[in-house]
Amino acid sequence: MIRMENVTKRYAEGAAPSVDNLTLEVPEGSTVALIGPSGCGKTTTMRMINRLIEPTEGRIFVNGEDVTQADPVQLRRHIGYVIQNVGLFPHMTIAENIAAVPNLLGWDQPRIRKRTEDLLDLVGLDPKEMLARYPRQLSGGQRQRIGVARALAADPAVLLMDEPFGAIDPIARARLQDEFRQILSRVRKTVVLVTHDLDEAIRLGDRIAIMKAGRIVQYDTPDAILSKPVDDFVSNFVGVDRAIKRLSLFSVADAALALPSANAKSSVAASLNLRDALSLMVAGNTDILAVTGEDGVVVGHLTREAIFSI
């Protein structure tokens, strides 16, 4: 869906490249997280995809079309974009912000109104309260949700998101990430997500690209990034707790044995992730837990050994 071929960006002639001979392919319907230290070129990479920034060298294809040949204004109407630091139009109401692209595309007003209300519901905000307000009358986290709603408004197949949940507290952020994952499971989109937050990259990314100084150091599934970092830079970046982080990719059901055990004193839901299940074991000073299904009935058990061998 998105293919960048040997793309380089120099902001000034003779300057060191901000993006350096980068090649990246994002398969249709998948989410790729770009992550790396501040200044490594994440935003530059992303903004070349919708031509807010022109590459110095290389080629970029979106849906088979060479975007360097496309009309940038047309292009941007078909690519949703969530800007770092939100970037809502301050003089427009929330309703007008969300409707910006549908208006440009000439949708009729009843359709726009319905779409705007549906999107506010989707991001967990009350349309009655929000529609007539201005961005300055919202909290930072609410503004970020509007930014996400605006990017989804015209139902683009491609979505570029630059730290979309950065200004939201950790609990609301985890909830919004879950909501976003559910949105993506319902409406298939190709997403490039820039983030500073490794947990967010793991939670939302089908693949993660770790960047350093304008280059991609490793491009892999979250499991491979956490279990097989290619070098010291990646292993330092993902941290010494990478083995524990990796457990959050699996659920209790992935490691449970389908037999009840008389030794299990407390229980855990089959849908919980293994990182939290291990934490419950540590807290309860036990190495075996009963596993319960949706209705609370015991369906098996989970051992520490089973977690360690996943």
Ligand X SMILES: Nc1ncnc2c1ncn2[C@@H]1O[C@H](COP(=O)(O)OP(=O)(O)OP(=O)(O)O)[C@@H](O)[C@H]1O
The neighbouring-strand residues paired with 2 are: 26, 62
Residue corresponding to tokens 């940038």: 72
Residues 57 to 116: which contact ligand X by CB under 6 A? 84
Phi, psi of 276 (to 5 degrees): -70, -35
Among 38, 74, 185, 285, binds ligand X (CB under 6 A): 38
Q: What is the DSSP letter of 88?
A: -
Among 11, 23, 63, 169, binds ligand X (CB under 6 A): 11
**Number of residues near ligand X (by CB under 6 A):** 10
Identity of the residue, 67 or 194, whose beta carbon is nearer to Mg ion in the bound complex: 194
| Residue 218 near which of ligand X, Mg ion, none (CB within 5-8 Å, type-dependent) | none
Identity of the residue, 19 or 302, whose beta carbon is nearer to ligand X in the bound complex: 19
Q: What is the DSSP letter of 82?
A: E
Identity of the residue, 18 or 292, whose beta carbon is nearer to ligand X in the bound complex: 18
Pairing of strands 190-195, 207-212: unpaired
Binding interface with Mg ion (CB under 5 A): 43
> According to the binding rule CB under 6 A, does residue 44 interact with ligand X?
yes
Q: Select from 40-48, 63-71, 229-237, 273-281 the region that touches ligand X (CB under 6 A).
A: 40-48
CA distance 294 to 242: 29
> According to the binding rule CB under 6 A, does residue 18 interact with ligand X?
yes
CB atoms under 10 Å from CB of 295, counted, come to 6
Identity of the residue, 112 or 160, whose beta carbon is nearer to ligand X in the bound complex: 160
Length, in residues, of the chain: 310
CA distance 95 to 78: 20
Asked whether the beta carbons of 48 and 54 are under 8 A apart, the reply is: yes
Give the tokens for residue 256. 């449970």
Identity of the residue, 39 or 260, whose beta carbon is nearer to ligand X in the bound complex: 39
| Residue 189 near which of Mg ion, ligand X, none (CB within 5-8 Å, type-dependent) | none
Q: What 3-state DSSP class applies to 258?
A: coil
Identity of the residue, 12 or 283, whose beta carbon is nearer to ligand X in the bound complex: 12
CA distance 197 to 37: 10
Phi, psi of 25 (to 5 degrees): -125, 125
| Residue 286 near which of Mg ion, ligand X, none (CB within 5-8 Å, type-dependent) | none
Q: What 3-state DSSP class applies to 248?
A: coil
> According to the binding rule CB under 6 A, does residue 40 interact with ligand X?
yes
Identity of the residue, 205 or 300, whose beta carbon is nearer to Mg ion in the bound complex: 205
| Residue 246 near which of Mg ion, ligand X, none (CB within 5-8 Å, type-dependent) | none
> According to the binding rule CB under 6 A, does residue 301 interact with ligand X?
no
CA distance 31 to 161: 10
> According to the binding rule CB under 6 A, does residue 161 interact with ligand X?
no
Binding mask 258-297 for ligand X (x = CB under 6 A): ----------------------------------------
Q: What 3-state DSSP class applies to 208?
A: strand
Identity of the residue, 43 or 116, whose beta carbon is nearer to ligand X in the bound complex: 43
CA distance 161 to 47: 10
Pairing of strands 190-195, 158-162: parallel
Q: How far is the CB of 301 from Mg ion (least distance, A)?
A: 46
> According to the binding rule CB under 6 A, does residue 42 interact with ligand X?
yes
Q: Select from 38-46, 202-210, 219-227, 239-247 the region that touches ligand X (CB under 6 A).
A: 38-46
Residues forming contacts to ligand X in the complex (CB under 6 A) are 11, 18, 38-44, 84
